[in-house]
Structures are given as C-alpha cells and as structure tokens.
Amino acid sequence: MSLTINNTAAAKGAHLVSVSGEVDVSNASELRDAIDAVLSDGASSVSVDISDVSYIDSTGIGVLVGAAHRAVDEGVAFSVANPQRNVARILSLLGMGEELNVCGGD
C-alpha cells in the first residue's frame, strides 16, 4: 500500500501532518522527510494525524520517536493524533503514548 502525506499550515506556526496508508521500512523515510521539513520550516507545533494509518512497523515508530525528540530539542510542541485502535495498541504496548504525546483515536 502506498503512503500519502499532506502538510497543512495553520495560524501561528502550527502544522498538521496527515498520513494515510501503511508506514513501514519501505516508506518510513518519506514520513521522516515530511516531518523534518516542517520542523526545519520554523513550526511552533506539529501534530501528526495518523487516523488513516492502518499499520506501522518499528521503523515508522522510530521515525515518530526521532521527530518527537527533535521537536523537544527545538522547543516545538509535538503530538501524534488519532491512531486507529490497532496502532494505538502497539504504541501503548511499547510505552510510547506519553513520549509521542498521543491524543485521540478509536
């Protein structure tokens, strides 16, 4: 399945990165590049909406964790929003909920 990523800039430097498809080793670099571009653009906050992500592997989770750490280093608020139940379960089992500031979801 292909990966689709859209970036929407809102007022005062807030950005929404909407992701759909499956995030795995074959395309995680696309997600990394998209989030890095937003962080490099001087965003004040970044929310990664994964409501349309049906699957994420360890590489994709690593991208989100790396982005969260970079955001903290740069003083940018970062969150992962609206994971589907199966994705939320994986993030929870790995103890990533707080680190990724996961909000919403099924």
Domain ranges (residues) in the chain = 3-47+59-77+85-101
Q: What is the mean pLDDT of the chain?
A: 94
Give me the pLDDT at residue 42, please.
87
Give me the pLDDT at residue 1, please.
62
Give me the pLDDT at residue 57, please.
95
Burial of 95 (0-12, 13-18, 19+ CB in 10 A): exposed
- The pLDDT tens digits of the residues spanning 67-83 come to 999 999 999 999 999 99
pTM of the model: 0.93
Instruction: Return the CATH superfamily for domain 3-47+59-77+85-101.
Output: STAS domain (3.30.750.24)
Residues in the chain, pLDDT under 50 = none
Query: Tokens representing 36?
Result: 């890095």
| CA–CA dist 59, 67 (Å, integer) | 12
Give me the pLDDT at residue 16, please.
96
| CA–CA dist 68, 38 (Å, integer) | 12
